Structure 1
Amino acid sequence: MFSLDGQKALIVGIANENSIAYGCARALKAQGADLAITYLNERAEPHVRPLAEALGASIIAPLDVADPAQIEALFAQIGTQWGRLDTLLHSIAFCPKEDLHGRVTDCSRLGFQQAMDISVGSFMELVRLSEPLMADGGTCMTVSFYGAEKVVENYNIMGPVKSALESVTRYMAAELGPKGIRVHALSPGPLKTRAASGIAHFDAMLDAAAARAPTHQLATIEDCGAYAAFLASREAANVTGGVHYIDGGFNILG
């Protein structure tokens, strides 16, 4: 029904073949997009590069969003090699383990600052640098979770952090809409990703989500990819600013 032929897409956040970002990268590629894929560091590269190469990515580059020089180098390469960008997919989050596993009340200021910078500030920075490369419009997407809206046991400080992420998504959508740039937050139900495995009692969260969702199924990275590919298409040009639940209807139950 739609095609991404000729689109240029930057995918940030692949850790392995179970990553939401990898599911999105596969779907975008399947619809015809050319990909730029990043990896966090030398330790992550052996896990990411083979996946990127299998997808025929034109650009494979390191990106630690805590390092401004790496961000600037990546966008310089995209500007030189492609001259434009159509889609940005941001799927990264971080919080120090001791703060992630503790009460929100007890979260350290430094831990909160780190979580906000990596999980939210980096999305704002990537969107800002994508803007001049999206002269003909484009799509910027990030990944949230239902814990941004309601208290989810053991999600802890990442709830407020994801709430901030959803808020900046709305504000940037309003600011960039006149330029034809759409901004979205995908909100999958719990998935078995490496990042999610750091959450305490995560297996119990998975079981509860599957039992409660109207479909009685967990979301998959393929579900996320299909939704992301549609949002990146011209057919979704008049859709922006949303938090898009991909959770088997879990969110409608209150």
Structure 2
Amino acid sequence: MGLFTGKKGLIVGVANGYSIAWGIAEKIMKEGGVCGFTHLPDKPEDKRQKNRHKVAQLTEPHGDAAKFLIPLDVQSDENIAEAMKVAEAELGQIDFLLHSVAFAALEDLRVPTVECSREGFKLAMDISAYSMIALTNAARPLMKEGGSVCAMTYFGGEKAVQGYNMMGVCKAALDSIVKYLAYDLGDSNIRVNAVSAGPLKTLASSAVGAKEMLDLYSAVSPLGRNITLEEVANSGAFLLSDMATGITGEILHVDAGYNIMGSPNRLASDYKRLKDEAAAK
């Protein structure tokens, strides 16, 4: 008996094998769960269907544990409704929903937030924040006996982080959405939480400079290191499982403790040492 034996759910947000959503899904399937997957829609002219192919390469080896794979445009309520019809037909009722979706156009992300365009703001908020509301509302009727919803967020929604810019505004909205949905759905025994992961080398994080943050996190965090995809996957799976039935409306930080620090920790000591060495020369 695994942690997810007899449990079924929908995974939204797998792009490739480095995706946090894939790490969580893989953990769920290893623990006996059955998952339905969505992928970014491919453009009609893309005969190779690159987005679908990348995810299919991951899901196909898992056989019946990966029940289906369908395209999903989270900006389309009609497409979301269609996806839930497939989920109901293939899975019946569901026990969990993973939301791991975020996007901002580079021209609005790679400028100071004050320079973000109106249309860029709308696009980023629609995909990165409102989609959590739309997906959860659409999945709610399938969670007949309650369930768990988990989103992926980041510390840049709580504090200003250089380079995170518009995405930080979106994550702040997402964090608030998690709390309000937790309240709205509590009577239905549906829990809503989020994992706030430290920087990892993923496709999404590369756009916001996560690679540059890795050294900073290992120097400042109490554990003195960076996190792993497996650690985030374990935490996400935990929140989606029956091990967390008493937890809702929480933002679980998986960042080696970086978020608790009020000073640069070891980094300050290293800076002082280098400064003293330079002065002594």
Shorter chain as denominator, the TM-score bin is over 0.9
1:3 and 2:12 equivalent?
Answer: no
Letter in 2 for 1:192: K
1:59 and 2:68 equivalent?
Answer: yes
Q: Which residue of 2 aligns with 1:13?
A: 13
Q: Which residue of 1 aligns with 2:152?
A: 143
Unpaired segments ≥5 residues, structure 2: 43-49, 263-281
More deviation, 228-237/177-186: 228-237
Letter in 2 for 1:41: P
Q: Check whether the contact 1:139–1:181 (CA below 8 A) recurs between aligned residues.
A: yes
Q: Which residue of 2 aligns with 1:85?
A: 94
The alpha-carbon deviation at position 2 of structure 1 amounts to 6.5
Runs of 4+ with deviation above 4 angstroms: none
Q: Check whether the contact 2:108–2:116 (CA below 8 A) recurs between aligned residues.
A: yes
Between the aligned partners of 1:232 and 1:16, the Cα distance in structure 2 is 21
Q: Check whether the contact 1:31–1:229 (CA below 8 A) recurs between aligned residues.
A: no
1:212 and 2:205 equivalent?
Answer: no
Q: Check whether the contact 1:188–1:246 (CA below 8 A) recurs between aligned residues.
A: yes
Residues 1-254 of structure 1 correspond to what in structure 2 (within 5 A)? 3-42=3-42, 43-56=50-63, 57-199=66-208, 201-254=209-262
TM-score, L = length of structure 1:
0.96
The alpha-carbon deviation at position 82 of structure 1 amounts to 1.8
Letter in 2 for 1:81: E
Between the aligned partners of 2:226 and 2:99, the Cα distance in structure 1 is 22
Between the aligned partners of 2:189 and 2:93, the Cα distance in structure 1 is 14
Q: Which residue of 1 aligns with 2:273?
A: none
Report SS of the residue matched to 1:139.
Answer: strand
TM-align CA RMSD: 1.3
Q: Check whether the contact 1:141–1:185 (CA below 8 A) recurs between aligned residues.
A: yes
Q: Check whether the contact 1:85–1:133 (CA below 8 A) recurs between aligned residues.
A: yes
Q: How many residues align?
A: 253
Distance 1:235 1:30, change over 3 A: same
Identity of aligned residues (%): 40
Letter in 1 for 2:103: F
Unpaired segments ≥5 residues, structure 1: none
The alpha-carbon deviation at position 209 of structure 1 amounts to 1.2
Report SS of the residue matched to 1:58.
Answer: strand
Q: CA offsets per residue over residues 83-110 of structure 1, 9 Å max, x none?
A: 2111100111000101100111111111
More deviation, 113-122/39-48: 39-48
Structure scoring higher RCO (CA < 8 A, sep ≥ 6) equals 1
